[in-house]
Structure 1
Amino acid sequence: MHKSITILAICLSFCFVIANPYEGFEDIIDAFDKDGYSIAKVAKYKNGRGALAFHRTAVNYETKKPKRLFYLEGSAYEMGYLMALLAHEDVEITCSKFIDGVLTDFLNGDVGTGNRRNALLEIVKSFVSEGVKNVRPDVPKEYIEEMEGLVAGCKEMNPGTEVSVNKLLMVNVGFDCILSRFYTLDFSNIWGIKPEEINGPVMCNDFSVFGDATVDRKHYFGRDFMFPTGNILEYQLGMTIYNPTDGRIPLIAVNSPGMVGSITTMNAYGVGMAVDNLAGNNCNPERVGINSIMMLRHVSHRAKSAKQAVDIMVDVPRGVSWLYFIADGTNDKAVVVEAGMTTEKLDFPAFANQDFMWAGMLPNQDFLELHENQKHRKGLTFRWNDYKYPEAFMKYNADMFAYFGKKEHKNIWGTRGYINKDYKEKNCPLYYFFPPQREDKDDVLIMTNFSIVPSMRLCGMNPWTISVYKKRYDDMQWRYDELNVQILDAYGKIDEAKAIEIVDYLAPYHKFPNYYEKIKSSPDGHSKIIKGAVSLCNMTDRVIHTHVGYYADGWIKATLDNYLKK
């Protein structure tokens, strides 16, 4: 009799588990539901929980697969392990096809085929493989542990997996290893690489508006991150909610399985971050350190304000020039961090074209000390939302425009001015000028892919760096000028819908339908891929809206607070 009862109890228990696979995930399922997702898969590992949900309406235009949202809770190792249990095949793709695809994207498409292209690709791969060895000691232990968890989880799901910590490091710091070399070394003297053979990715836009700029006085942070996708990210990118149990601050990250870093973050204290490319010569390829997507993840797990985020960044070892945008929805602050290698002393004029320096066409150190209103902190300069541009530097612009045969249009330097009247005009004297900060309101801050702080601007005026990016400068300046005018036109009337429209201003269905005409199209030719992600963060309510995949795809959102309720 007792034996029969025991068997019955086991059967009932087993049936109950089968009938209720999501027991213990009710809170997460409810949060998914409110954001328009349906639960697809759950996993538990030790004290951690992981869940994957599919969006009910937004799908990839090409594959028709639904957009995804991941939830990870636990220690660093547990969160990595759980991600692998939920999406090990995607992690494996990221560690193979994505790495190869992105490395190829760093070479221009018109570079020859065969031996020449293969030789250049091997050189680029060597930058990554050697750089990763040097970076690993600087990576905070929790991210190494998360990568170790990813590897272990992938091995559980596929004993023959080729995922490794080294490959995950290549995914997460490989960009930095490549760019630290591209920005600083004259390859023509070393490997015979020509500047025109390098494809430098610089197509990002960011802004923060709040206070009087918004109709509801909420804080909106928009960012448009365009970067090589390796023909993979348009299918892989989505969002992940990280809820660590080790005391770090929970956050939402725009990333893909295997990408431990993030291209956009928003944390539970209303601090959002983004990273954009900045071509500067102030890099240290011998100690690349923590930058870009890993910097975002690291700082966002710790910063309760924009000020604290800045303080954390100062003490992080860095070796690559990047731009970072930090938005603080709790304190209504925003700051652009113009970053280079970590250093106690930075001789800004030493990076610039020395012929122009000797000719007096660029400011020397004495001029900087007299007129620059920013002091670098270990290689960082800061442009807060109340920053006032030191206009004394603009006296150098007339000579540079004349030297390069460019035009100073009427009102070219005004708050609504354009250096290029449209995105096809080529009116910038390369990078050899000092663009003013257009925004003159303390509740608006804008960033594209160039420095505005004059001293940091000099770091990008190196002849080699400019030879690599000479075809990009007009575009990055035009994007900044156009974004500024669109924000000014909407000033005081910006709500969430308008902020989404502004951050999406280059999409084919808006004002500039042909801007992305050279971007890869869908197989049927009806839509363009999004080379990265477009996101709008409502920092006041901690809601993020993101557009990934194709421009024909629907947007997805996540409301962070809903996932943190117990």
Structure 2
Amino acid sequence: MSRKIRILIKVNIIFMILLIPSIGIINLASAAQISSIIAYSPDGKGYIEELSSGKQLIHMEGSPYEMGYQQGYLDPISVERLASVDWFKNVVLNLLEAEDWILLFIMKKVLNYNRLMSEVGSVVDEPTIAAVAAQSTDNLDMLLDKLFILCHELVAYNSIYVPQEFLDEIQGVADGATDAGHPVSYEEVLLLNMGMDALLALAYPVVEPYLFWMDLFSFLSCSGYVAQGAATTDGHTIMGRHWQFTSYVTHEEMILMEYCPDSGNQFLSTSCAGFVGVTSAMNDQGLGIGNDMVPAQDCNPANFGMGTLLTARYVMQYTNQLSEAINFITTHTRGCSWIYGIGDGRNGETGGVALETSTNYYRVRDMTYTRPWWAIFSFNTIEKKSDLVTYTNHYIYYRMNDLADSTAIDDSVDRYTWLTNLALDMYGTLDLDSGSVLIDYLHPPNYGYYGSDLTQPVGCAVTCWDLTTLEAKALFGYYNDDWVYRSL
């Protein structure tokens, strides 16, 4: 069944009847706008808009609870499908691309009783740890169930780090979806927005020592770049972001999400209903952000903070320039390693960085960074342009790998090389359109990475932002679909 049919289509007839007398003669522009809106939320503020590409956008505005309710009510099937045990388990299985016996070995190490007591015993009680600890007779499905329970516990504790307004919004999502006929709990939506940090902070310290021998995270990864100045055709700041994640369910539920909150900045996100946090977004101040996985041992699953999705969301809503975004991320509690790609196109700090973070360390790799000649054991940066920065899933700033105990897998190094070399080939020609081609560098059949089938789903979205003009292009769904265009 197609997304259009599955989406809850509830045009508010009473709202339209009341509205028409106040309109009088409707001009053509207004008529076109009205005809593109296919569903309203009960309060008349939120709506789903049909875009020219055939894709859709959810518009939300108002208080945190109102925006959450609008999101959940307008696209409840997406919320129900993603805020579920089924989706969570499939993320884990896709996260670690390996044979079942390897997965079983790793899961038992992750859920080892003594390890759990040491790592999370300060925030999870001993009876719960005993219940979720791996037993010799556990199969993979049983271990996934235990991991799911433990992540729920860690997310519930770490919600103390989340601003109340985001928790209110999460409650709104759950209530909206439930009222639309697809019951979802607050706890399930909370896990969707914070669970990845709990999961990765638990798994990274176990998995990372094996990455020298096997690329366990090959197919769940991300890529990005920021370009400005001479790298572009008109001096604009262009940012690309490929959210490389599991296509399971998400390729069917991807949508543009437009936020107009009562306080803070407006912003646009490429995401799915259910996510209050963001993975790829641009705000009306010209800031863009994305978050890339980077396996490291320097993690703290007991206190991982609000998690990367809600951290990026806060940056979009409440920071206005590059330095503010960096300061917020680096001064708040972090318990999982991430690389944040951040671009700024407007407020006097134009440019971009790859902000490399772990629990106890961070480094800001800006456009001027080059590896010191003496740091021969650090990974090399090959862009070497003062108005370009590229990043995938390994630390490049010298010593960051040593400090955070991180290994660069071959897959990440390969993608960094391909992306950067293409960016250098396209140097001086980048704008919104050509920048979209650049960030879609893995488009089939390029490099043989995804094969040659253009009918396969995109996992999960490819987005390009012009952070100066506040324009966006995104590709999601399937590789042979049309790109979506939107501006703020």
1:33-112 aligned within 5 A: 38-45=36-43, 49-58=45-54, 67-96=55-84, 97-108=86-97, 110-111=99-100
Q: Secondary structure at the match of 2:37?
A: strand
Q: Of the two, which has the highest radius of gyration?
A: 1
The residue aligned with 1:544 is 472
The residue aligned with 1:147 is 170
| Aligned 8 A contact 2:158 2:305 in 1 | yes
Residue in structure 1 matching 2:449, options 475, 498, 515: 515
Where do 1:379-394 residues align within 5 Å?
379-394=361-376
| Matching residue of 1:241 | 258
Matched, 1:455 2:399: yes
Q: How does 1:172-191 map to 2 (within 5 A)?
A: 172-185=193-206
Tell me how far apart the structure 2 counterparts of residues 320 and 200 of structure 1 sit (CA, whole Å). 19
Deviations 1:505-545, CA, capped at 9 Å, x for gaps: 11015x43x2113xxx9xxx762211111100011110111
Structure 1 counterpart of 2:277, from 250, 258, 261:
261
2:233 corresponds in structure 1 to 215
1:435 Cα shift? 1.6
**Aligned residue in 2 for 1:228:** 246
User: What is the DSSP-based 3-state SS (H/G/I as helix, E as strand, rest coil) of the residue aligned with 2:282?
Assistant: strand
The 8 Å contact of residues 262 and 296 in structure 1, kept in 2 or not, is answered as yes
CA distance in 1, matches of 2:372, 2:40: 55
The question of 1:203 aligning with 2:189 is answered no
- Indicate the residue corresponding to 1:372 in structure 2: none
Task: Map 1:395-414 to 2 at 5 A.
Answer: 396=377
2:17 is matched with 18
CA distance in 1, matches of 2:464, 2:144: 35
Q: 1:99 & 1:21 partners in 2: Cα distance? A: 45
CA change 1:106–1:22 in 2 (3 A) is farther
Q: How many Å separate the matches in 1 of 2:52 and 2:158?
A: 40
1:291 Cα deviation from its structure 2 partner: 2.7
Name 2:387's counterpart in structure 1: 443
Task: Return the alpha-carbon distance in structure 1 between the equivalents of residues 31 and 284 of structure 2.
Answer: 17
Secondary structure of the corresponding residue to residue 392 of structure 1: coil
Kept after mapping to 2: 8 A contact 1:104/1:121: no
| Percent pairwise identity | 26
305, 309, 333: which one aligns with 1:317: 333
Q: CA deviation at 1:167?
A: 0.5
Shift of 1:121: 1.7
Distance 2:265 2:165 in 1: 13
Indicate conservation of the 8 Å contact 1:37/1:55, yes or no: no
TM-score by length of 2: 0.81
Q: CA deviation at 1:200?
A: 6.6
Unaligned residue ranges in structure 2 (runs of 5+): 1-12, 105-136
Structure 1 residue 207, shift from structure 2 partner: 0.7
CA distance in 2, matches of 1:31, 1:94: 35
Tell me the alpha carbon deviations over residues 177-223 of structure 1, each in whole angstroms, 9 at most, x when there is no partner. Answer: 111011114799xxxxxx97965754311111111111222211001
Name the CA distance, whole Å, in 1 between partners of 2:485 and 2:367: 27
Q: Distance in 1 between matches of 2:303 and 2:267?
A: 28
- CA 1:491 to 1:148, structure 2 compared with 1: closer, same or farther past 3 Å? same
- Across the aligned residues of Structure 1 and Structure 2, the Cα RMSD in angstroms comes to 3.1
Change (3 A) 1:183 1:541: same
1:291/1:21 CA distance change after superposition, 3 Å:
farther
User: 2:63 touches 2:261 (CA, 8 Å); kept in 1?
Assistant: yes
SS in 1 for 2:463: strand
What SS does structure 1 have at the residue aligned with 2:195? helix
Cα 1:391/1:123, change in 2 over 3 Å: farther
SS of equivalent residue, structure 1 residue 56 = coil
Residues 102 and 32 (structure 1), Cα distance of their counterparts in 2 relative to 1, 3 Å cut? farther
Question: Aligned equivalents of 2:271 and 2:379: distance in 1?
Answer: 32
Structure 1 counterpart of 2:324: 308
CA contact (8 A) 1:132 1:169 kept: yes
Q: CA deviation at 1:130?
A: 2.4
- Once the two structures are superposed, the pairs formed by residues 262-281 of structure 1 within 5 Å of their partners are 262-281=278-297
Deviation digits for residues 448-484 of structure 1 (CA, Å, limit 9, x no counterpart): 111111221114546xxx5xxxxx7112112112222
Residue 54 of structure 1, CA deviation: 1.9
**Matched letter for residue 390 of structure 1:** P
Q: Are 1:32 and 1:53, in contact at CA under 8 Å, matched by a contact in 2?
A: no
Cα distance in 1 for residues equivalent to 2:435 and 2:483:
14
Could you tell me how far 1:165 is from its partner in structure 2? 1.4
| Deviation string, structure 1 residues 489-513 (Cα, Å, up to 9, x no partner) | 121122322111111111015x43x
Counterpart check, 1:137 vs 2:160:
yes
The verdict on how the C-alpha distance between 1:383 and 1:501 changes in structure 2, with shifts beyond 3 A counting, is: same
Cα distance in 2 between the residues matched to 1:440 and 1:533: 27
TM-score, normalised on structure 1?
Answer: 0.71
Tell me by how many angstroms 1:117 deviates.
2.2
The structure-2 alpha-carbon separation of the partners of 1:552 and 1:139, relative to structure 1 and needing over 3 Å to count, comes to same
Q: Report the CA distance shift for 1:255/1:31 in structure 2 as closer, same or farther (over 3 A).
A: farther
Q: Which runs of 5+ in 1 are unaligned?
A: 1-13, 59-66, 189-194, 344-378, 397-433, 467-471, 561-566
* Cα distance between partner residues in 2 of 1:92 and 1:21: 35
- Indicate the residue corresponding to 2:354 in structure 1: 336
For residues 32 and 499 of structure 1, the distance between their equivalents in structure 2, rounded to whole angstroms, comes to 33
1:299 aligns with 2:315: yes
CA deviation map 1:144-178 (0-9, x unaligned): 000111122223222xx431111011111111111
